[in-house]
């Protein structure tokens, strides 16, 4: 069993996801052959996938359990890590690239300066009680790759334990506090069909609804591609 203990603090300068904007290009590129019709002979999959935006149905549905641990799964997990790195985010769930499967990956630096990278498949998360206080806008603000350019304060549990397996089927377990606990909760929520903006308190939910309408984050079919579309945060 692989066990890691992460003790970190949340910083307003960090976000559970970096954010991007604009319409996406496809993650597949056609390689044209020399036929007279000029049709694509081969479709070459690209490792960096478009990230779908709030309103896409897959984001709002419970993800399906993984049962086959094969080369296709290993390739998907590898692509997710590539996409995460290109996005400058710290966590990415499969539904965010349009795949309704119970997978999330993470890659972030803790307060000790140690980079933590990992994969959870079919995870189970156990959290401490969420404090019954208002979130601090300076220290408890959260963002999401699937809600580009926005962030809002959200109260989270201070400590979590996540159990699951990796892409090889090996058991993995993580106990986290503070910053990393927030990442784990954020990504696990994606697998339940919940985004962080769905959890906002009354005050911040009203602000989110206004921004949602203004940005058009209420219809399906929108996405952005890390490394292709401009990053509005200058990462």
Active-site positions?
Answer: 187
- Alpha carbon distance 199, 155 (integer Å): 9
**Is 186 labeled as ligand-binding?**
yes
Exposure b/e, 11-35, CB count within 10 A at least 16 = b? eeebbbbbbbeeebeebeeeeeeee
- Alpha carbon distance 32, 129 (integer Å): 56
Instruction: Evaluate whether 170 touches 2 at the Cβ level (below 8 Å).
Output: yes
Q: How long a stretch of residues is the chain?
A: 235
- DSSP three-state, residue 90: coil
**Is 190 labeled as ligand-binding?**
yes
**Is 144 labeled as ligand-binding?**
yes
Which residues make beta-bridge pairs with 93?
104
The angle subtended at Cα 43 by Cα 64 and Cα 224, nearest 5°, is: 60
Binding residues for Fe cation: 144, 186, 190
């Amino acid at each position: 069993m692989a066990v890691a203990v992460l003790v970190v603090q949340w910083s307003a300068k960090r976000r559970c996801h970096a954010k991007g904007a604009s319409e996406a290009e496809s993650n597949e590129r056609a390689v044209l052959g020399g036929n007279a019709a000029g049709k694509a002979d081969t479709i070459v999959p690209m490792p960096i996938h478009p990230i779908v935006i709030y309103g896409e149905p897959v984001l709002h549905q419970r993800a399906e359990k993984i049962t086959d641990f094969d080369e296709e799964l290993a390739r998907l997990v590898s692509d997710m890590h590539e996409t995460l790195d290109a996005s400058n985010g710290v966590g990415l769930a499969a539904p965010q690239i349009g795949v309704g499967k119970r997978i999330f990956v993470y890659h972030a630096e803790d307060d000790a300066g140690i980079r933590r990278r990992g994969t959870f498949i079919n995870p189970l998360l156990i959290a401490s009680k969420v404090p019954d206080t208002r979130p601090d806008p300076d220290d408890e603000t959260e963002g999401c790759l699937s809600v580009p350019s926005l962030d809002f304060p959200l109260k989270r549990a201070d400590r979590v334990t996540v159990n699951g397996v990796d892409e090889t089927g090996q058991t993995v377990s993580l106990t986290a506090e503070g910053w990393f606990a927030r990442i784990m909760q954020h990504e696990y929520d994606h697998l339940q069909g919940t985004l962080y903006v769905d959890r906002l308190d009354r005050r911040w939910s009203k602000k989110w609804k206004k921004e949602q309408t203004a940005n058009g984050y209420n219809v399906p079919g929108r996405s952005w591609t890390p490394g292709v579309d401009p990053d509005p945060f200058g990462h």
